[in-house]
Chains A and B, each alone.
Chain A
Amino acid sequence: MDRRKSIKALLIGATSAGVILEACNTADKKASDAATDPYAGVDRMAEEKEHLKKVNAETFFTEHEMATITILVDIIIPKDAVSGSATDAKVPDFIEFIVKDQPNHQTPMRGGLRWLDIQCLKRFDKSFRDCTEKERMEIVDEIAWPKKAKPEMGQGVAFFNKMRDLTASGFYTTEMGFKDIGYVGNKATQWNGVPDDVLKQYGLAYTDKEMKECVSFDKA
């Protein structure tokens, strides 16, 4: 390797304008990718890109497991008057991803799904997926209420708690979930303090000191 060349290549400070230009081009390219890749445009270092590629190349759940997950997430978060269902928000896809990204979920999820199927097999001679809605809900009601569940259903309760948590994570972190929960931030704004009607509701007020010292903006 040519010594001068290697040094020149290293001293990017000396050619910082070029580096910045190059970075801009990369940014433009990222923007054009955004249409096809929902994750484009978010800063990622090289090691993260490699990791994502690896995770995306794997498939964890079988078709049967995914079908069962799809039924369960819509029991947990169905469509209601406020918002759509977990499958409307593509929660099963999220669950497939997260168990590959966080492998510690894999055994409890795979094992929990099989535990559920075995219960159904013993009771109805069918897998959970093949059960009628009434049969499914009979089992679900035995594992969805931790405090009143029978002790022998403990493993099922733990599995359903995990399913409930993953479903909530997957649902409320979508546009649909934001609207449902009423989160209205994540944008440029001016913080002028707690709205007057809310202060009034809680019997609170800013002190004169706060009104004088704190930054305030003209109300639109």
Chain B
Amino acid sequence: MGDLQIKKQPKKYDAIIVGSGAGGGMAAYVLANAGLKVCLIEAGPMYDPAINTTQLKNPWQSPRRGASTKYRPFGDFDACYWGWQIDGEPFTLKDDTKWDWWRARMVGGRTNHWGRISLRFGPKDFKRRSIDGLGEDWPIGYEDVSPYYDKVEKLIGVFGTNEGLHNDPDGIFLPPPKPRLHELMVKNGAKAAGVPVIPSRLSILTKKINDTRGACFFCGQCNRGCTVYGDFSSSSVLVKPAIQTGNVDIITSAMAREVLTNSDGMATGVSFVNKEDMQEYQVTGRTVIVAASACESARLLLNSKSTRYPNGLANGSNVVGKYLHDSTGAGMSGVLPELFDRKRYNEDGVGGLHVYTPWWLDNKKLDFPRGYHIEYGGGMDMPMYGFGGGIENQNGNFLVKGKQKEAGGYGASLKEDYRYFYGAGISMAGRGEAIPLESNYCEIDPKVVDKYGIPVLRFNYKWSEHEINQAKHMKETFKEILHKMGAVITGGDKDGPQNNYGLHTPGNIIHEGGTVRMGSDPKRSALNKWSQSHECKNLFVVDGGQFTSQADKNITWTILALSMRASEHIVEEMKKQNL
């Protein structure tokens, strides 16, 4: 460390982008294609699903047979590097807060393994305060974002169907895959319970859309990344083509430390530490676009203190870090006796559900605001670590080939049981909208730094009765659907008021947003309607941080649309010499 010095890069870029996930990848793509010179900073290593393959690998190609590790919490073949914890990069919790935080460190970020559920927000989702008096309206409406959803759908591709639902808008869809067997049973059970089920909307190419990406070949492994780019990942669909324009310099293993500003209060660049040589660097540019993920972006801004911005950058309103919210989540699982001893065939399908339930009720008649959608799982999955686990809780409860057996056991009879029960599982998961509250926040821990000396985040979060009541409703709905399907519930039915009806720990659903929110009032929001800082005009935040509220729709599709919108605005403003 004797020769520690800050290495300044002489090249001045048009834009410095921090983070290469959905928001940063889209910004790089739009700006680079407009001919601007871009420097893209990513905290993890290079990643390209065509090169860094786990797709189509068999469980015996993993010594742990696909079990999870701290490096890959969603399993040994999951594409995402890191997750719930990162060596040398802690975060802390205030008081009795429980908060889960998934962080990816790789080009493309979490888009490399996400569920590809690609839902437009609807007109109501931007104006919730006007409807129920809670939270805040966005400074923009569906009509502002709709043209960008169109463009994103044409550029990236999504399957689905136009159902004419007001708050689940129609889009530009590729054909969806046919429902799997258990999904047909879900449809019937849900119908009997008065719950609609429609084809899911996933950014997976059921048909080829251009010559740079192949079509889906139905291996059901989108979470492993796709070697033919048949699904959307920022790494393959945005970052790679952005680099190919020749206008992007990408710096990997670079952990942003601060956004730099000058005496006029304008952003001038970004300082970062290179994780490999542990040296300090600075890059400079006309604009800085932050897309490090909702909480990391808030952390970066709060750590970017100066005489001009003593409270952190873009934080004159003091809202940065606040209004943190994740989707609500609760689930239930069971078995369908009808599917015992079922015929075998390949039903991998696409890497996700083929059908889902959009929110269908009127909150005026319910004891909670905001809705949830339902995701369904089941089928003849690939055996992985954990296969057949806990069979002693199952094989004594059902007749096996007409015979009552004792629970547990061993031998040829046990092998028969594994075969008999295979593929009969069914699961449901609700994903709902939480109310963003000022009292739920991340802030800089006054005492703790990570291994790079960067002050870390401390979280404070508590679910409100709105979310708890919503989880209770989810459970009642799941029970009803499972009952109507003829399923036997095996998990998730013991939850009650003692554990918030199984409502997951906040952060666990990995849809965090709201920490650098947009608004029309600079006193109560960090960004204007162009994802632009109210007080530092050449600073933009284009990830989930900007979300005023996040609907019961997974937020990635809207991150992409808003990032594209902000980036096109930046191009226009640069042409007009306003930036």
Chain B hits for A190, CB < 8 A: 217-218
CB-based contact B179/A210 at 8 Å: yes
A186 touches B53 (CB 8 A): no
B219 A186 Cβ-Cβ under 8 A: yes
CB distance from A15 to the nearest CB of B (A): 10
A143 to B66, CA, bound (A): 29
User: What B residues does A19 contact at CB under 8 A?
Assistant: 46
Contacts A164-B392, A214-B175; is A13 near B40 (CB within 8 Å)? yes
**Main secondary structure on chain B at its contact with chain A?**
loop
Chain A residue nearest in CB terms to B254: A10
The reply to whether the CB of A57 lies closer than 8 angstroms to some CB of chain B is: no
CB nearest to B220 among chain A residues: A185
Q: Give the chain A neighbours of B412 by CB distance below 8 A.
A: 78, 80-81
Asked if B207 and A188 make an inter-chain contact with CB atoms under 8 angstroms apart, the answer reads: no
Given contacts A145-B409, A165-B389, A188-B218, contact A183 B63 (CB under 8 A): no
B87 A98 Cβ-Cβ under 8 A: no
Tell me the A108-161 residues at the B interface (CB within 8 Å). 140, 144-148, 157, 160-161
Interchain CB contact under 8 A, A202 and B181: yes
Chain A residues numbered 164-195 whose CB sits less than 8 Å from any CB in chain B: 164-165, 168-170, 172-175, 177-178, 180-195
Closest to A216 in B: B178
Residue in contact with B346 in the complex, picked from A157, A187, A204, CB distance below 8 Å: A187
> Residues of A contacting B199 with CB < 8 Å?
210, 213-214
A52 at the interface (CB under 8 A from B): yes
Q: Which of B336-389 contact A (CB under 8 A)?
A: 338, 342-350, 380, 382-389
Give the Cβ gap from B243 to chain A, nearest Cβ, in Å. Answer: 5
- Contact mask A40-55 → B, CB, 8 Å, 1/0? 0111011110011001
Q: In whole angstroms, what is the CA distance A31 to B175 when docked?
A: 36
Q: Given known contacts A45-B71, A77-B414, A169-B389, is B346 in contact with A146 (CB within 8 Å)? A: no
For residue A11, CB closer than 8 A to chain B, the reply is: yes
Binds A, one of B245-253, B298-306, B559-567: B245-253
Residue A67 interfacial (CB < 8 Å): no
Chain B nearest CB from A196 CB (Å) reads 11
Contact A43 B54 (CB under 8 A): yes
Residues of A within 8 A of B344 (CB): 182-184
B419 within 8 A of A: yes
CB distance from A146 to the nearest CB of B (A): 5
Query: Which listed residue (A39, A183, A186, A215) contacts B177, Cβ 8 A?
Result: A215
B: residues with CB less than 8 A from A are 3, 7, 9, 40, 45-46, 48, 51-54, 56-67, 69, 71-72, 77, 79, 81, 87, 106, 159, 161, 174-181, 184-185, 188, 199, 206-207, 217-221, 243, 248-252, 254, 274, 277, 279, 281, 338, 342-350, 380, 382-392, 396, 406-412, 414-415, 418-419, 422
Residues of A within 8 A of B (CB): 1, 3, 6-7, 10-14, 16, 19-20, 23-24, 27, 38-39, 41-43, 45-48, 51-52, 55, 75-78, 80-83, 94, 97-98, 101-102, 140, 144-148, 157, 160-161, 164-165, 168-170, 172-175, 177-178, 180-195, 197-199, 201-202, 204, 206, 210, 213-216
